[in-house]
């Protein structure tokens, strides 16, 4: 095995997958392999989403982990839909999940499975448990379950139905299956231990009555297996060797193992738990994301402010940046909150390598270059990507009137302001050095509305013979050629670091940031940007990374989304404040 400890968070390059870090799960797998407990040495993992929502960045962590291990151990990873709750599930989600996993760069090949395909087998295994005396049909009303179950420090009470005969249980379970009984009136329970300190072992329900149509099996079933019963059996049926799940399932592991042992399944997958990803300034539970969507608080599951994979994609995240992020955060047993800036950092690093550069002035201030000939236009050459010489060059038209950023000019600048001010000189990127000779202000407001400047023809970029040195370089756009493009700027969706933990009496939606979307109508871009297509990545020089929105853009009329600012403005703000 190669030395992976030298891996760093910055190792991701274009189209590359970073070298995987060692983690305790890989260690566990190595140990299992060396002990020979993996029957034919093939490591089989699975990613098991419930199709009740779109995938989010937390799922990406699990996807990268499961598919990454399968790739590195030359095993395989199954995509399995855990579809045992017909009420919440939908084919729309089944499709979006497949699209997102593929987009992230992973392939399950032939190994697409649905837990619902095992309903018949799982039912037979429930019958087997009944025959063995390990399961019974319980009629305790739902409102008394808690009381019977008790609390961890005190044993629970036995259900009066616990000692039913096998024959009676078989008849009753059969009737549940036929739909004779109403929902909630009965459950099938595993007969384990009502005094176990682990609540999950106190005769947990393994089948319930549910009379909703299932997206694959229709009305065939009136009973559905519970998650804990389904998951271990699905893993065993598929021959999964390592079943990786998040920490909250640690306390379910004894039940997972109990079921497999009682049913003597030939395959005994190892359940291993790791800490789920939590990100600051966002929510990750599908229930909450669904609420944002159904209450119209965002523009659908793929709103660019959402932490969903489809939202991140629409925002301009690349698959490589998300994989790099998942590698950076690693896999541990420790719960913690990852700052969203870590994700943004992975994106900047990747986009710096792949984004085409463009000049866009967000908030224009007109500059007239008084000594530049009227009517003259010259084509200047600019590189498309300084990090990638194969990207080539682009033509930038330059003329007597241009726009610069309002922020790049001050009437009375402090000494450290290296941009433009009366009498000062700056370089226009890929063009000339100009000097500000005169400021025209709005008489009503006193605001500068136009600058009169002069240029030095000797200072053309690439053939500068003047020997002049200036400290500031500005981006600019020719006024005659520039095109107006709408730009959507995003900020954090929530105002607080942990919207997931609202104060007493408040809802997480109370913390939505009202300024998370602002639309800039004034932006003027170099003319080539009109042909920008969704799927292309851009760096607007000195401003940030942008992509054409794939829903709102039309041919020749792109609408841009800001993916991420060029620098982490929040980090800067918190340093200086």
Decide: helix, strand or coil at residue 271.
strand
The token pair that represents 153 in the structure block: 């420090």
- Give CA separation, 9 vs 27, 62, 73, in Å: 20, 18, 22
Give the shortest CB-289-to-ligand ATP separation in angstroms.
Answer: 7
The token pair that represents 198 in the structure block: 């682990």
* Residue of 135, 119, 203, 140 whose CA lies nearest to 170: 135
Give the shortest CB-47-to-ligand ATP separation in angstroms.
Answer: 6
Binding residues vs ligand ATP (CB under 6 A): 48-50, 58-59, 61-62, 82, 245-246, 276-277, 284-286
Residue (234 or 478) nearer to ligand ATP, CB: 234
Query: Cα–Cα distance between 568 and 576 in angstroms, integer?
Result: 13
Residue (140 or 245) nearer to ligand ATP, CB: 245
CA dihedral of residues 345, 349, 350, 353 (deg, nearest 10): 160
* 219 C-beta neighbours (distance < 10 Å), count: 11
Give the shortest CB-12-to-ligand ATP separation in angstroms.
Answer: 20
Rg (CA), the chain: 31
Task: Please confirm, yes or no, whether 286 is among the known catalytic residues.
Answer: yes
Give the shortest CB-538-to-ligand ATP separation in angstroms.
Answer: 30
Task: Please confirm, yes or no, whether 498 is among the known catalytic residues.
Answer: no
Residue (65 or 453) nearer to ligand ATP, CB: 65
Give the shortest CB-39-to-ligand ATP separation in angstroms.
Answer: 23
Chain centre distance of CA 106? 15
Residue (204 or 421) nearer to ligand ATP, CB: 204
Query: Cα–Cα distance between 387 and 364 in angstroms, integer?
Result: 28
8 Å CB contact between 510 and 502:
yes
- Give CA separation, 492 vs 51, 304, 489, in Å: 27, 11, 10
Which of 22, 50, 387, 435 is flagged as catalytic?
50
Residue (277 or 365) nearer to ligand ATP, CB: 277
* Residue of 154, 78, 151, 170 whose CA lies nearest to 117: 78
Residue (59 or 242) nearer to ligand ATP, CB: 59
Give the shortest CB-554-to-ligand ATP separation in angstroms.
Answer: 34
Chain centre distance of CA 521? 28
Q: In the bound complex, which residue of the shown chain has the CB atom lying closest to ligand ATP? A: 58
Task: Please confirm, yes or no, whether 50 is among the known catalytic residues.
Answer: yes
Give the shortest CB-269-to-ligand ATP separation in angstroms.
Answer: 13
- Beta strands (DSSP E) in 84-134 are 112-114
Sheet holding 44-47, edge to edge: 44-47, 76-81, 112-114
**Residues contacting residue 452 through CB under 8 Å, at least 6 positions apart:** 368, 370, 436, 437, 438, 439, 440
Residue (330 or 421) nearer to ligand ATP, CB: 330
* Residue of 205, 210, 208, 265 whose CA lies nearest to 233: 265
Q: Give the phi and the psi of residue 411 in degrees, each rounded to 5.
A: -65, -40
Which of 286, 424, 427, 460 is flagged as catalytic?
286
* Residue of 405, 424, 415, 431 whose CA lies nearest to 524: 405
Query: Cα–Cα distance between 73 and 70 in angstroms, integer?
Result: 5
Give the shortest CB-303-to-ligand ATP separation in angstroms.
Answer: 17
Residue (73 or 93) nearer to ligand ATP, CB: 93
Residue (61 or 323) nearer to ligand ATP, CB: 61
* Residue of 174, 182, 85, 192 whose CA lies nearest to 137: 174
DSSP state letter for 527: G
Most distant pair of Cα atoms in the chain: their distance:
102
Give the shortest CB-106-to-ligand ATP separation in angstroms.
Answer: 13
Query: Cα–Cα distance between 519 and 523 in angstroms, integer?
Result: 10
Could you list the active site residues?
A: 50, 276, 286
């Amino acid at each position: 095995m190669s030395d992976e400890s030298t891996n760093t968070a910055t190792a991701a390059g274009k189209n590359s997958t970073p070298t995987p870090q060692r983690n305790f799960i890989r260690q566990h797998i190595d140990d299992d392999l060396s002990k020979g407990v993996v029957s034919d040495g093939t490591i089989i993992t699975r990613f098991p989403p419930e199709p009740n929502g779109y995938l989010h960045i937390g799922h990406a962590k699990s996807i990268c982990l499961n598919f990454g291990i399968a790739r590195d151990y030359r095993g395989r990873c199954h995509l399995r839909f855990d579809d045992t709750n017909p009420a919440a599930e939908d084919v729309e989600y089944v499709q979006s999940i497949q699209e997102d996993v593929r987009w992230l760069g992973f392939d399950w090949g032939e190994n697409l499975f649905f837990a619902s395909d095992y309903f018949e087998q799982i039912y037979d295994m429930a019958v087997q448990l009944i025959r063995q005396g390990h399961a019974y049909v319980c009629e305790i009303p739902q409102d008394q379950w808690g009381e019977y179950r008790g609390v961890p420090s005190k044993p629970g009470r036995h259900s009066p139905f616990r000692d039913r005969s096998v024959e009676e249980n078989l008849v009753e379970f059969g009737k549940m299956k036929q739909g004779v009984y109403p929902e909630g009136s009965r459950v099938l329970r595993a007969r384990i231990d009502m005094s176990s300190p682990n609540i999950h072992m106190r005769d947990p329900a393994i089948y319930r009555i549910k009379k909703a149509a299932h997206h694959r099996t229709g009305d065939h079933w009136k009973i559905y297996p519970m998650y804990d019963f389904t998951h271990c059996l699905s893993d065993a049926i598929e021959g999964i060797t390592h079943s990786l799940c998040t920490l909250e399932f640690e306390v379910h592991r004894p039940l997972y193992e109990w079921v497999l042992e009682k049913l003597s399944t030939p395959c005994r997958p190892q359940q291993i738990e790791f800490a789920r990803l939590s990100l600051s300034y966002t929510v990750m539970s599908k229930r909450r994301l669904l609420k944002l969507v159904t209450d119209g608080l965002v523009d659908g599951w793929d709103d660019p402010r959402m932490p969903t994979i489809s939202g991140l994609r629409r925002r301009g995240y690349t698959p490589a940046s998300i994989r790099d992020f998942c590698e950076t955060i690693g896999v541990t047993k420790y719960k913690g909150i990852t700052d969203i800036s870590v994700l943004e950092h992975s994106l900047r690093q990747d986009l710096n390598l792949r984004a085409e550069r463009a000049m866009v002035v967000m908030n224009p201030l007109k500059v007239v270059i008084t000594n530049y000939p009227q009517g003259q236009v010259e084509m200047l050459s600019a590189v498309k990507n300084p990090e990638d010489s194969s990207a080539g060059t682009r033509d930038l038209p330059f003329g007597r009137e241009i726009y610069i950023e309002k922020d790049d000019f001050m009437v009375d600048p402090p000494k450290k302001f290296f941009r433009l001010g009366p009498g000062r000189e700056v370089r226009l990127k890929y063009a000339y050095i100009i000097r500000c000779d005169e400021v025209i202000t709005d008489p009503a407001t006193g605001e500068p509305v136009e600058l009169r400047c002069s240029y030095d023809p000797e200072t053309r970029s690439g053939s500068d013979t003047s020997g002049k040195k200036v400290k500031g370089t500005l981006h600019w756009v020719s006024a005659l050629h520039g095109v107006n493009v709408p730009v959507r700027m995003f900020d954090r969706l929530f105002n607080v670091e942990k919207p997931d933990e609202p104060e007493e009496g408040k809802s997480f939606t109370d913390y939505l940031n009202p300024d998370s979307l602002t639309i800039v109508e004034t932006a003027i871009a170099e003319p080539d940007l009109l042909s920008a297509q969704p799927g292309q990545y851009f760096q607007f020089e000195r401003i940030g990374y942008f992509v054409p929105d794939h829903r709102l853009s039309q041919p020749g009329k792109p609408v841009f989304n800001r993916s991420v600012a060029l620098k982490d403005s929040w980090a800067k703000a918190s340093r200086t404040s």
